[in-house]
Structure 1
Amino acid sequence: MWQHVPRADDGRVTEIITGLYMSPLEFLVLLGAVALVVARWLPHAVRPRVTIAAGAVCVLSAIALSVMGVRWQMLPVLAGAALALPFAVAPLVRRRTGRPAWRARWWLALPGSLACVGLIATGPVAAWAFPVPVFPEPSGRFAVGTRVMQWTDPNRPETATADPHDRRTVVVQLWYPARKSPAGTQRARYLGRTEDEARTVSDALARAAGLPGFLVDGVPRAHTHAVFNASVADGEARFPLVLFSPGSGGVRTQNTAWAEELASNGYVVAALDHPYDSAAVVLDDGRTIRTTLSSTGDRDKDDKLAADATAVRAGDLSFVLTQLGRLDRGEIAGPLTGRLDTGRVAVTGHSMGGAAALQAARQDDRFAAVIDIDGYPHGPNSPSLDRPTLALTQTITSETDPRYIPRLTDVLKLNSATSYRLTIPGAAHLSFTDAPLYLPPVPSIVGSLGRTKSPRVAAAATLAFLDSTLRHKPGDPAGALPAYGDLSVYRPGNSR
């Protein structure tokens, strides 16, 4: 199957063979390399033509790839072609010089051919395991725009630095309903505003996961469906807000597929980078702030660190909501002035971000609904929640922290509004992020839902809950959510 995805900085599009996650040019190199190996086993009459054609395809495609940038996944393919080329071309050269052609016996040639084929086959396997992510097409009626903003809170000191004059700064990315852009419009790069920012963030995420950066070198090459600074959708409708906090060490863009799906359905998503917590935050002045958080190995100390970080994140979420209100009133310049419905706001987050969402809702009455996406509830349980809450969880296994579900259940049962816990079969912790789009489809890492189904299921469940709680569409979430997993409902005074 072929799929159009935006490529580099000129705004054009290229095609990806989604089964192998290779571009047509990479696929040509692969076919040429295989043809070079196979040529030795073809009948004498066709062997020269196949060899010349395959060699030309390999050489020209390799030159083009070197200009555009060779992914590491293609190196085994090029190496296999380089090993096969001399043996394929030598008989032709000998024949042209009048010397008798020499051809190794089959039992001598077979091991070499198999070795070359094995080396070449490593390329598409690696491209499939670590692809350039292809983002699912948003299903809503709106196109999607995006923009990045940086705000500093003059009332909060930055506790992660020793400078008493340093104030808390956050970077926020908005995804919003937009007008449809003309064909060929450049789409937003994944993970950053520029290629340098995307690579900085990608390398930081890889290091945080204990992976060498080159393994995910396809990630900063990806483009999404949103358009930077696109015009807001026509009309005068005000859009509900969804604030999002990423996981510990996570970044604002880690749930881009989810955010684009919500924006295409008429929501404005505001996702935060939390400096000194997120893996890497690139500021407007070019500085990069990297995470200073790390596990101590002591559960009690780590719990205390997580609770402290959650409190800072909760403050960030409230501050950003205040800034969005100013943006809506025109006190901050931007295309969304007069289009944000700050009376209909949900606070959400993944992992530690989910814990931050719970804390922010306890402290700030402006949040009308809460979604905790597979987040252990760090911090105090008081005051109790008093607004609709959805907790999305991975499939519970013997490897799951035994404290997680009891702690989460306590939080939901104490809620004075109806709460819902939806456990999604086949989901792992990273299933709720973009990770399934670019990491190997290993169930223990990214779950077993598949590359595109994972973000779709999380977004569909989110929309079912938000449409009911923020838009007050007819129907109880308890009727819609079971389509996506195993639902538990906790009603005040009648929990189950």
Structure 2
Amino acid sequence: MMKALLALALAATPVATVTRLSLPPPTGPALIGTTTAHLIDRSRPDPWVASEENRELMVSIWYPARSVRGHQRAGWVSPGVAARINPPDSPYVLPVTHGHVDAPPANGRHPVVLYSPGFGVERTTGTVLVEDLVSHGYVVVTIDHTHDANFVEFPDGRIATAAIDPPNSPEEEERLLEKIVDVRVRDTRFVLDRLRRMPLARTMDLSRIGMFGASMGGTTAADVMLVDKRVRAGVNLDGSFIGPILDHDLKRPFLLFGSDSHGEQDETWTKAWERLRGPRYRIELKDSAHLSFTDYQALFPQLGLPPEQVEPVVGTIDAQRSIAIQRAYVRAFFDRHLRHRGGALLNGPSPLYPEIIFHP
């Protein structure tokens, strides 16, 4: 649905006026730098394309910058991906981010948060939340899961496309979902192993690492935490839980942040909730929908599509309000559990955000 809606709008009949799509500015005081890294895991072949001898990943590192003067703003997606998803005669121009390419980093070492996107989409789809965390002093590393994501562009111009075949039965689907999560966990642990050798490693406080993800990325965060104690706190943004988290206890802080009624409709949330033995939180955003927890919350309302197409995927909540609320609660969680300060929003309902429902 998400890809279909975006493709429908971007391929619309050309018009005289061209609209530049935009992302809301981050709320924190820090300037933002960003860079990319191409990582090659030579210990395993690609799990989805047998001809590829090594698993290759692309990540972006977002960090507080000392200065951005002379450094251009990064595009929302890489040039090759932009050419794939936005036709030359499209009435829209894809957004630019608030991150500046290869800007010099600010002094100090900052807590690190990893981001895993939903199934079939790219690491860029969490930019709205990523940028806000960075503007408040975090380093965020976003991960593309190659051949799971629709498009991944490598530095030499190659573009890896989605290569996971659909299942033919419920049994195959269950096995496939478990494999997808297992591959994502392996990807993430490899990224964790490489953090000390990444660009900007000197800006990272690796004793304070968290992780969050949307949809499939949310269960990825939980399943990573089960097997890797380097990740101290995690967030699932509206994703069903899959894999070991349903059968094993997790004793570190975790936040379940769901769309309107998600938790009531998804029995995996009930099962996973019982497995959370550390500090745990379960909240719901009224009038939101599954894709509210991605950049599409900001972008779809700008496309001019009829409400009956947009509302089922990003809800009826005002887009700017939805984003402001998500930013506040995600930051409060990581502030409390990585910085050990703040986080009062997690104590219970707040008159500032009546759209948030707390579940016991």
Q: TM-score range by the shorter chain?
A: 0.7 to 0.9
Aligned to 1:199: 83
Q: What is the distance in 1 between the residues matched to 2:291 and 2:65?
A: 29
CA radius of gyration, larger in: 1
Is contact 1:146–1:175 with CA below 8 Å preserved after alignment? yes
Is contact 1:154–1:167 with CA below 8 Å preserved after alignment? yes
In structure 2, stretches of 5+ residues that fail to align are 1-9
Greater shift after overlay, 317-326 or 426-435?
A: 317-326
The equivalences for 1:125-144 within 5 A come to: 132-144=20-32
Is contact 2:13–2:91 with CA below 8 Å preserved after alignment? no
Is contact 1:464–1:480 with CA below 8 Å preserved after alignment? no
- Please state whether the residue corresponding to 2:256 is helix, strand or coil: strand
Aligned to 2:128: 257
**Deviations, residues 465-492 of structure 1 (Å, cap 9, x unaligned):** 000010000455532675351112xxxx
Aligned to 1:218: 92
Q: What displacement does 1:181 show?
A: 2.1
1:239 alignment partner, one of 110, 132, 135:
110
**Deviations, residues 382-414 of structure 1 (Å, cap 9, x unaligned):** 3311110001111017xx894x1x211221222
Aligned to 1:387: 252
- Please state whether the residue corresponding to 1:136 is helix, strand or coil: coil
Q: 1:392 to 1:214 in 2, by over 3 A?
A: farther
Aligned to 2:292: 431
Structure 1 position 189 matched with structure 2 position 99: no
Q: 1:462 to 1:394 in 2, by over 3 A?
A: same
Query: Which amino acid letter does the alignment assign opposite residue 92 of structure 2?
Result: G
Structure 1 position 150 matched with structure 2 position 11: no
The equivalences for 1:66-81 within 5 A come to: 75=14
Structure 1 position 227 matched with structure 2 position 100: yes
In structure 1, stretches of 5+ residues that fail to align are 1-70, 79-122, 204-212, 328-333, 489-495
Q: What TM-score do you get using the length of structure 2 for normalisation?
A: 0.87
Structure 1 position 371 matched with structure 2 position 239: no
Query: Which amino acid letter does the alignment assign opposite residue 337 of structure 1?
Result: A
Q: What is the distance in 1 between the residues matched to 2:191 and 2:269?
A: 26
Query: How many aligned positions are there?
Result: 340
Q: What is the distance in 1 between the residues matched to 2:238 and 2:93?
A: 24
Aligned to 1:172: 59
Q: What is the distance in 1 between the residues matched to 2:11 and 2:223?
A: 43
Q: What is the distance in 2 between the residues matched to 1:73 and 1:170?
A: 32
Aligned to 1:454: 322
Aligned to 1:493: none
Query: Which amino acid letter does the alignment assign opposite residue 137 of structure 1?
Result: P
Q: What TM-score do you get using the length of structure 1 for normalisation?
A: 0.64
Q: What is the distance in 2 between the residues matched to 1:132 and 1:377?
A: 36
Q: What displacement does 1:173 show?
A: 0.8
**Deviations, residues 116-142 of structure 1 (Å, cap 9, x unaligned):** xxxxxxx7xxx7xxx532111111010
**Deviations, residues 273-332 of structure 1 (Å, cap 9, x unaligned):** 1111000111122111111125436333222211110110011111111111233xxxxx
Q: Which has the higher contact order (CA 8 A, sep 6+)?
A: 2
1:361 alignment partner, one of 225, 235, 243:
225
Q: What displacement does 1:224 show?
A: 1.4
Is contact 1:171–1:283 with CA below 8 Å preserved after alignment? yes
Aligned to 1:346: 210
Bigger share in helix: 1
Query: Which amino acid letter does the alignment assign opposite residue 229 of structure 1?
Result: D
The equivalences for 1:88-107 within 5 A come to: none
Aligned to 2:4: none
Q: What is the distance in 1 between the residues matched to 2:271 and 2:237?
A: 16
Bigger share in strand: 2
Is contact 1:140–1:265 with CA below 8 Å preserved after alignment? yes
Query: Which amino acid letter does the alignment assign opposite residue 248 of structure 1?
Result: F
Q: 1:286 to 1:475 in 2, by over 3 A?
A: closer
- Please state whether the residue corresponding to 2:327 is helix, strand or coil: helix
Q: 1:337 to 1:358 in 2, by over 3 A?
A: closer
**Deviations, residues 154-181 of structure 1 (Å, cap 9, x unaligned):** 2222222224x71111100111111232
Is contact 2:148–2:163 with CA below 8 Å preserved after alignment? yes
1:407 alignment partner, one of 243, 265, 268:
268
- Please state whether the residue corresponding to 2:44 is helix, strand or coil: strand
Query: Which amino acid letter does the alignment assign opposite residue 433 of structure 1?
Result: T
Query: Which amino acid letter does the alignment assign opposite residue 216 of structure 2?
Result: M
Query: Which amino acid letter does the alignment assign opposite residue 326 of structure 2?
Result: A
Q: What is the distance in 2 between the residues matched to 1:339 and 1:360?
A: 23
Query: Which amino acid letter does the alignment assign opposite residue 134 of structure 1?
Result: S
Q: What displacement does 1:252 show?
A: 0.8
Q: What is the distance in 2 between the residues matched to 1:337 and 1:356?
A: 23
Q: What is the distance in 2 between the residues matched to 1:240 and 1:341?
A: 5
Query: Which amino acid letter does the alignment assign opposite residue 47 of structure 2?
Result: T
Q: What is the distance in 1 between the residues matched to 2:255 and 2:358?
A: 10
Q: 1:190 to 1:474 in 2, by over 3 A?
A: closer
Q: 1:149 to 1:323 in 2, by over 3 A?
A: same
Structure 1 position 463 matched with structure 2 position 331: yes
**Deviations, residues 157-215 of structure 1 (Å, cap 9, x unaligned):** 2222224x711111001111112323x753111111x3x33222x35xxxxxxxxx689
Q: What is the distance in 2 between the residues matched to 1:297 and 1:477?
A: 44
Q: What is the distance in 1 between the residues matched to 2:271 and 2:345?
A: 20
Q: What is the distance in 2 between the residues matched to 1:141 and 1:263?
A: 9
**Deviations, residues 23-46 of structure 1 (Å, cap 9, x unaligned):** xxxxxxxxxxxxxxxxxxxxxxxx
